[in-house]
Amino acid sequence: MKPRRRVGVLISGRGSNMMALVEAARAPDYPAEIVCVASNRPAAAGLAWAHEQGIAAHAVDHKAYATREAFEEALHAVLEGQGVEMVACAGFMRLMTPGFVARWAGRMINIHPSLLPLYPGLHTHARAIADGVRIAGCTVHYVVAEMDAGPIIAQGAVPVIDGDTPDSLADRILHLEHVIYPRALALVASGTARLENERVNILSDVNQSGRLISPDVGGSS
Ligand code: GAR
Q: In angstroms, how far is CA 13 from the centroid of its own chain?
A: 13
Pocket of ligand 1 (CB under 6 A): 11, 13-17, 90-91, 111-113, 148, 174, 177
Mean pLDDT throughout 144-165?
Answer: 98
Closest-lying ligand 1 atom to the alpha carbon of residue 19: 18
Q: Are 34 and 22 in contact (CB under 8 A)?
A: yes
Distance 110 CA to ligand 1 centre (A): 9
Return the pLDDT at 83: 98
pLDDT, tens only, 107-128: 999 999 999 999 999 999 999 9
Mutate which of 11, 12, 16 for ligand 1? The one with the most ligand atoms within 8 Å of its CB, which is: 16
Say how far apart CA 191 and CA 2 lie, in whole Å. Answer: 11
Q: In what order do the strands lie in the sheet with 86-89?
A: 56-59, 32-39, 5-11, 86-89, 108-112, 135-142, 152-159
Share of the chain above pLDDT 70, in %: 99
DSSP structure class, residue 182: H
d(CA 215, CA 191): 36
Mean pLDDT of 38-61: 98
Q: Which fold has domain 5-202?
A: Rossmann fold (3.40.50)
Reported as a single tens digit per residue, the pLDDT across 58-80 is 999 999 999 999 999 999 999 99
Q: Which of 154, 152, 149, 157 is nearest to 206 (CA)?
A: 154
The alpha carbon of 213 and the centre of ligand 1 are apart by a number of angstroms equal to 25
CA-proximal residue: ligand 1, atom 7 (nearest): 91
- Indicate the burial class of 101 (C-beta count within 10 angstroms; 0-12, 13-18, 19 or more): middle
Is the entire prediction scored with pTM above 0.95? Answer: yes
Q: Domain locations in the chain? A: 5-202
Q: How would you classify the pairing of strands 32-39 and 56-59? A: parallel
Which CA distances in Å does 10 have to 47, 110, 128, 155, 212? 10, 9, 26, 20, 31
